[in-house]
Amino acid sequence: MAEDTITMQDNVALRRALIEAVAVRVIDHVDELSDLDRAIGDGDHGLNMKRGFEEILARLDELADKPWPEALKAGGMALVMKVGGASGPLYGTAFMTLGKALPEKLDPAAFSAAMSAAVAAVKARGKSDAGQKTLLDVVIPLADQLEKGELDPKAIRDRAAESALATVPMLATRGRASFLGERSVGHMDPGARSSQLIIEAVCEVLEGWM
């Protein structure tokens, strides 16, 4: 009983730290994300994401108190409602699918399977895949890493940084950036960058926790 209580309190504290770190990281990069979107889109990605993650921060206590599946489903729903644009439904789908796919008791295999399910759901929702200069170019490599059993947060955030950078020379063939054709080449995809920021924030909290 006492041990259960401690584990539960740990989980709430860790969940709170993770959710808060992700939200703060995205909000802190509002200008960078909007600048990236101004180059190859309509310049709203930073504000879209900020609106969504401010809602997450406003509901931090409530979300942190829920078990992971419920917290992710509720958080994903909030992002769908608040972020808007193309990215809102995609991020919302990703987090809601993670929540639906995760068992209450987390383990690496379950987390990897849930991440693969989330990636598949985003692909279906966006009718998109790897190599089209979108956030998928960061989250597909993450799912691949997890599937191979990579659990080192440093290796995971290094790969996310490489993956976001690798979108610079890509030609966009999905989303607003695809309207630019060849002119989309030479800029980092804003959604790839926001996905990297989210992954990085999660990894940094876990590194500090371990």
Which residues are near ligand ADP by CB under 6 A?
A: 37, 41-42, 44-45, 48, 85-87, 90, 126-128, 134-136, 174-176, 189-192
Strand ranges for the chain from DSSP E: none
The residue to which tokens 């597909």 are assigned? 140
Which residue lies nearest Mg ion, judged by its C-beta?
A: 41
Q: Does 189 bind Mg ion (CB under 5 A)?
A: no
Closest to ligand ADP by CB, 54 or 150: 54
- Cα 175 to Cα 172: distance, rounded to the nearest angstrom: 8
Residue 136 contact, options ligand ADP, Mg ion, none, Cβ 5-8 Å cut-off depending on partner type: ligand ADP
- Cα 210 to Cα 206: distance, rounded to the nearest angstrom: 6
Q: At its nearest, how many Å lie between ligand ADP and the CB of residue 89? A: 9
Q: Does 137 bind Mg ion (CB under 5 A)?
A: no
Longest dimension (CA), the chain: 61
Q: At its nearest, how many Å lie between ligand ADP and the CB of residue 103? A: 27
Closest to ligand ADP by CB, 40 or 205: 40
Torsion of CA 108, 111, 117, 123, to 10 degrees: -100
3-state SS assignment for residue 169: coil
Options 1-9, 41-49, 148-156, 181-189: segment touching Mg ion (CB under 5 A): 41-49
Q: At its nearest, how many Å lie between Mg ion and the CB of residue 22? A: 20
Q: Tokens in use for 182?
A: 């060849």
- Cα 168 to Cα 77: distance, rounded to the nearest angstrom: 30
- Cα 51 to Cα 56: distance, rounded to the nearest angstrom: 9
Q: Does 37 bind Mg ion (CB under 5 A)?
A: yes
Closest to Mg ion by CB, 36 or 118: 36
Torsion of CA 41, 24, 15, 95, to 10 degrees: -10
**Of the candidate residues 45, 50, 174, 193, the single one contacting Mg ion (CB under 5 A):** 45
Positions that interact with Mg ion (CB under 5 A): 37, 41-42, 44-45
